[in-house]
């Protein structure tokens, strides 16, 4: 009988494998940097992609949800495939190509989105999902594959598996957080989306090439040399990415919130059209501030004209600035009017000053910030007229559509003052009904201005809600609408408005599904 002691194998280790795995592992700092970069790059892509697709499909809850959902799907599939490959092949030859391919796909995002966006333009759900998938899925999936490849290289001792996986997962999460905050607070404000995307592509490409050189020197001749097919793919990818230089760019100016352009009116040498994210937003006549081009602005002008004697100055608050059409109109028709404009996009204020004859002064004060916050700072009973004309693409931001917002508006309006709110809706008109019900929950006197065809549910249109704590001058307003409007217009109030609203919901801060109410299906 053999009495020699048995051979002891360390718990959680495999004989001879730890030394070999350790030899192939990356330095801890390099491994952490790669995971941090790859995870952060996905979140930069996610934020920038929302801005890239916005000019074509808008910036709605559905678009934001699509970008987040596609990004998460890319992360899931990329991590899965990266882990599958890591168990079947040496991860070292895969890391650098993954980064270089992610670089090429990131650069290709620009021409793909800008050419495909022209075809998929609109708010259809299928188009939104397709465009967001084109913008982010492939580069994000390639980047997500980096983490499991790095993790595999670092698992030199099974007793430390939890520590290695936990550490790298934590670093990846920190990379994602850093990229999210850095992109939202710094990059988007400092540079256009094109520069962000190209800069990210260059960073990934340089990192991938540097990593390839480092790994080959570390491994000597054990790593295969890049094949001609790989080199050809890289050249073709970079050549394709160069199309971003000639791809159609829908933005003349990119602000922190909008893709903006100012277009001249071919029929009026002094007319200017402000376009935000492909939607006509404002019209300004540089030579005639009393000229109101869009029908809804004429309706709001009629409200201002009938609320007090002609020429009497007002204290007006404007929720949303855009092209500053209404502040200019009120200043021209009622000298001495004090306009306070709440505009969340400081870039639009600068654009207005530069190209749309916006002149801040005693009669015009533009405050940059969220209107919901700014109106809360205004004293009680300090405004004669509040004009609501704020939009995220074609949608009133949900927090500006609730009963709590209407209560704030009523608080700042003086007795007898008026609230005129512009709303866009489409058949079956669920949102405008809900918004009228919401405003009516705070104001005892409410009317609605709209084209007859829109009220009948045959087409989408602008609607203007008029509200006050005092009886509205309906007859005077009706006569003024007839003289100022170019087409047929209906002023709906009393039982007719009640019938139109029916049992529509009142929107609150707790529940305001604006995007869902606007959906046409």
pLDDT at 9: 42
Per-residue confidence (pLDDT) for residue 239, from 0 to 100 = 64
Q: What is the mean pLDDT of residues 466-491?
A: 92
Average pLDDT over residues 458-478: 95
Residues β-bridged to residue 366: 341
Cβ partners under 8 Å of residue 403, min gap 6: 438, 441, 442, 506, 507, 508, 509
The reported pLDDT for the residue numbered 188 is 82
Give the residues across from 421 on adjacent strands. 388, 465
Contact indicator for 68, 176 with CB cutoff of 8 Å: no
Residue (of 274, 292, 458, 420) closest to 354 by Cα position? 274
Structural contact between residues 82 and 144, judged by C-beta atoms closer than 8 angstroms: yes
Q: pLDDT tens for residues 391-433? A: 877 789 999 999 999 999 999 999 999 999 999 999 999 999 9
Instruction: Say if residue 256's pLDDT is above 90.
Output: no
Q: Which of 203-212, 242-251, 275-284, 378-387 has the lowest mean pLDDT?
A: 242-251
Percent of the chain whose pLDDT exceeds 70: 89
Tens digit of each residue's pLDDT (9 = 90 or more) over 182-193: 988 888 878 888
Lowest-confidence segment of 107-111, 133-137, 216-220 by average pLDDT? 216-220
pLDDT at 487: 82
User: What pLDDT score was predicted for residue 241?
Assistant: 60
- The CA–CA distances, whole Å, from 339 to 290, 336, 385 equal 15, 9, 10
Q: Name the β-bridge partners of 367.
A: 342
- On average, the pLDDT of the chain sits at 88
pLDDT tens digits for 18-50? Answer: 545 555 678 999 999 999 999 999 999 999 998
pLDDT tens readout for residues 294-320: 999 999 999 999 998 888 999 999 999
Tell me phi and psi for residue 36, to 5 degrees.
-60, -45
Helix (H) and strand (E) counts in the chain: 20, 12
Residue pair 191/178 in contact (Cβ under 8 Å)? The answer is no
Is the CB of residue 254 less than 8 Å from the CB of residue 193?
yes
pTM of the model: 0.79
Per-residue pLDDT of 276-299, as tens digits, reads 877 788 999 999 999 999 999 999
Q: Would you state the pLDDT for residue 305? A: 94
Query: Looking at residue 490, what is its pLDDT?
Result: 95
Mean pLDDT of 209-213: 90
Pairing of strands 364-368, 338-343: parallel
pLDDT by residue (tens digit) across 126-185? Answer: 888 999 999 999 999 999 999 999 999 998 766 778 888 999 999 999 999 999 999 888
pLDDT at 455 over 50: yes
Tokens of 328: 């200019």
pLDDT of residue 242: 62
136 compared with 16, residue with greater pLDDT: 136
Band (pLDDT 50/70/90 cuts) for residue 350 is very high
Distance (Å, whole) CA 170 – CA 172: 5
| Average pLDDT rounded to a whole number, residues 450-456 | 94
């Amino acid at each position: 009988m053999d009495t020699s002691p048995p051979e002891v194998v360390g718990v959680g280790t495999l004989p001879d494998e730890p030394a070999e795995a350790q030899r192939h592992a990356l330095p801890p700092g390099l491994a952490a940097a790669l995971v941090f970069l790859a995870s952060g790059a996905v979140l930069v892509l996610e934020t920038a992609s929302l801005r890239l697709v916005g000019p074509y499909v808008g910036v709605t809850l559905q678009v934001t949800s699509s970008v987040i959902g596609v990004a998460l799907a890319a992360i899931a599939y990329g991590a899965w495939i990266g882990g599958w490959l890591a168990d079947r092949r040496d991860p070292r030859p895969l890391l650098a190509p993954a980064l270089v391919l992610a670089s090429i796909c990131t650069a290709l995002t620009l021409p793909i989105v800008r050419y495909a966006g022209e075809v998929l333009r609109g708010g259809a759900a299928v188009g939104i999902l397709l465009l967001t998938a084109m913008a982010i899925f492939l580069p994000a999936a390639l980047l997500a594959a980096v983490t499991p490849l790095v993790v595999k290289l670092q698992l030199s001792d099974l007793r430390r598996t939890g520590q290695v996986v936990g550490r790298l997962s934590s670093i990846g999460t920190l990379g994602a957080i850093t990229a999210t905050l850095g992109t939202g607070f710094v990059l988007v404000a400092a540079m256009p989306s094109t520069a962000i995307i190209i800069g990210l592509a260059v960073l990934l490409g340089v990192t991938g090439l540097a990593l390839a050189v480092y790994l080959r020197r570390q491994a000597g001749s054990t790593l295969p040399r890049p094949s001609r097919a790989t080199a050809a793919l890289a050249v073709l990818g970079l050549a394709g990415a160069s199309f971003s230089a000639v791809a159609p760019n829908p933005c003349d100016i990119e602000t922190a919130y909008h893709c903006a352009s100012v277009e001249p009116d071919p029929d009026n040498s002094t007319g200017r059209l402000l376009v935000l994210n492909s939607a006509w937003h404002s019209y300004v006549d540089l030579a005639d501030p009393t000229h109101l081009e869009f029908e809804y602005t004429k309706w709001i002008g009629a409200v201002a004209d009938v609320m007090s004697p002609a020429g009497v100055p007002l204290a007006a608050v404007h929720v949303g600035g855009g092209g500053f059409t209404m502040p200019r109109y009120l200043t021209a028709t009622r000298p001495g009017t004090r306009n306070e404009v709440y505009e969340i996009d400081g870039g639009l204020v600068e654009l207005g000053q530069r190209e749309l004859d916006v002149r801040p002064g005693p009669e015009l004060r533009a405050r940059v910030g969220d209107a919901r916050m700014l109106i809360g700072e205004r004293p009680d009973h300090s405004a004669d007229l509040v004009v609501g004309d704020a939009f995220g693409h074609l949608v009133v931001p949900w927090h500006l559509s609730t009963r709590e917002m209407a209560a704030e508006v009523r608080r700042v309006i003086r007795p007898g003052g008026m609230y005129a709110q512009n709303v866009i809706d489409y058949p079956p008109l669920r949102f405008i009904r809900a918004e009228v019900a919401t405003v009516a929950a705070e104001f005892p006197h409410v009317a609605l201005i709209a084209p007859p065809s829109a009220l009948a549910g045959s087409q989408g249109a602008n609607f203007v809600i008029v509200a006050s704590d005092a009886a509205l001058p309906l007859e005077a307003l009706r006569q003024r609408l007839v003289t100022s409007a170019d087409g047929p217009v209906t002023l709906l109030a009393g039982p007719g408005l009640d019938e139109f609203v029916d049992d529509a919901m009142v929107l609150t801060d707790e529940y305001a599904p604006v995007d869902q109410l606007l959906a046409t299906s």
